Amino acid sequence: MKRGALRFGVLDIGTAKTVALVLEGVPGWSVKVLGYGQAATRGVERGQVVDMPALIRTVTRAMNRARRMAKVGDGPLPIWSNLAARPVQALTHRGAVGLPNNMVEEEDVLRAEEAARAVPIEHNQAVLHIIRRGFFLDDKPVHWPVGMYGYRLEAEVHIITVPRTDLLNLKQALEDAGLLVEAFVLNPLAVGEAVLSDTEREMGVIVCDIGAGTTDVAVYAGHEVDFATVLPLGGNDLTRDLAQILSLPWQEAERLKVEHGHASPDAVQEDQWLTIHPFGEGEAVRIRARDVAAILEARIRDIFQKVARAVREAGKWGMFPAGLVLTGGTSHLPGLRQMLARELKMPVRIARLHPNLTWPQAMSGPEYATALGVVYFAQAYLEHGQGTARVPAAASGDFWSRVKAFLRGLLP
């Protein structure tokens, strides 16, 4: 290990798969993947823990694979993990301070943000993220107030809270797997961080990760996240519809979807036939590929109606000049992009990962956006420390003291 290097782990616990990474922060601010591993998830449904022992086994399996590849042994590693909590609540709050010198100093920014954070939340909720939204100097909006004249500085923050028990259950599972939890990153925020460009974030964009069990939604405007939610819907619902309507075993419905599925029946050849083996039928049955697509299309419509409703209810359904960006395993479904562009009347793209670090080739698909986003959050923490928008509120002081020691290690 290089002098002053800092090792940490990253997890993306999805409903279908769990991804583990072992990374090293090295002097010069680069972060390097030392090892990675994956395991089929057990014990999670629609993003939520439903069986602790099964989840602990899953996490252990994925983490051990990553550790083995990284050759790090089983010593304690600070872990950054995703979290798919539900329901997500958010509030925007301002805090004001007077400016004794009639000039804004860094100190005043911290004081104003401190005041903005001081807001009562429901007792069963826990603060997960505090996002810097902007400043007002004598009621006038400014991007960055330091160095400007004024009498009164206000800071605006967006506070994201989640059910405390969701946080505690996942933390407990990770601790029981022998891991040391550093911080959690809410799924939609991780995804936004991983795949959106600065221009998209500035202009206004909506990002949706459709995984197996959840659809994670985030709206960005003015660069920062403006709305985020986790909906209990995903690719498993597409599979379940096929299984129920066509009387298929789960595995066969899943295979039918992944190998022959399409999001738009009109785009499927009328004379394309598929062979399936339904329950109760002695032999194989032929079905039109177009009819399979019609079942999938109906569920995708349903998912996006719910996405639109959630965003609209939060008062955030407006202009998304940069359109919709899709990630998650379900975004592999052929025809999905075109179908959604037509239905939603906005530009739609399937995200490609462009990691700013050496990233495993095996994890280049859109279903790895969440894991990459969690790495970015950890990386921002290493680079800038606490007090940046990208640091989860729950990040513990412990790791920060190690980061500071790490920084000191860089000094001559």
Of the candidates 9, 14, 145, 265, which one interacts with Mg ion according to CB under 5 A?
14
Piece of the chain touching ligand ATP by CB under 6 A; list 117-125, 255-263, 282-290, 306-314: 255-263
Number of residues that bind ligand ATP (CB under 6 A): 24
Site string for Mg ion, 278-317 (x = CB under 5 A): ----------------------------------------
Are 344 and 324 in contact by the 8 Å Cβ rule? The answer is yes
Of the candidates 161, 229, 264, 330, which one interacts with ligand ATP according to CB under 6 A?
330
- Smallest CA-to-CA distance from 372 within 388, 390, 356 is with 356
Residue closer to ligand ATP (CB basis): 96 or 267: 267
Q: Does 274 help bind ligand ATP (rule: CB under 6 A)?
A: no
Tell me the C-alpha distance between 374 and 391, whole Å.
10
List the single partner that 258 binds among ligand ATP, Mg ion, none, CB under 5 to 8 Å by kind.
ligand ATP
Site string for Mg ion, 332-371 (x = CB under 5 A): --------------------------------------x-
Residue closer to ligand ATP (CB basis): 95 or 328: 328
DSSP string, 75-107: S--EEEEEE--SS-EEEEEEEEEE-TTSB--HH
Site string for Mg ion, 191-220 (x = CB under 5 A): --------------------x---------
Q: Does 254 help bind ligand ATP (rule: CB under 6 A)?
A: yes
CB of 366 to Mg ion, least distance (A): 10
CB of 295 to Mg ion, least distance (A): 23
Q: Does 37 help bind ligand ATP (rule: CB under 6 A)?
A: no
Interface contacts to Mg ion, rule CB under 5 A:
14, 211, 370
Interface contacts to ligand ATP, rule CB under 6 A:
14-17, 47, 84, 211-214, 234-236, 239, 254, 257-258, 261, 328-330, 332-333, 367
